[in-house]
Amino acid sequence: MEVLVRRMLTLAAALFALVQASTAPAQEQQSFKSIIGKGYDIKSVTYARGEFTDNRETFVVTLQRERSVAVCYFAAATWINLSANALDDSKRCDVR
């Protein structure tokens, strides 16, 4: 039961991040590689699939550095393989 509750909370947090990212304008977009290079720490990696992602398998990666937050979106295959092109894509992450 506890595992189910944790998964539900993780999914709720991921969906909240997705909704916030889609309704609020991002301050800027940057590549995952540049964000990591600036010292951001990965706070969560969440798998999402369903109506909100058009049934696409997606990973939502949340990073933080001090008071700044970044949310990055990757197709499942891209995140699993850590494709160099995707990590350098300057439109992959929203930074606030």
Using one digit for the tens of pLDDT, what is the confidence trace for 26-77? Answer: 489 999 999 999 999 999 999 999 887 888 999 999 999 999 999 999 999 9
Identity of the residue numbered 8: M
- Domain segments of the chain as ranges: 2-95
Contacts of 61 (CB under 8 A, 6+ apart): 32, 42, 44, 45, 46, 71, 72, 73, 74, 79, 93
So what's the pLDDT on residue 45?
Answer: 96
- Tell me the DSSP string of 23-59: HS--SEEE-HHHHHHTT-EEEEEEEE-SGGGTT--EE
Task: Evaluate if residue 19 carries a pLDDT over 60.
Answer: no
Per-residue pLDDT, 83? 87
Checking if the pLDDT of 4 tops 50, the result is no
* Better pLDDT: 40 or 4: 40
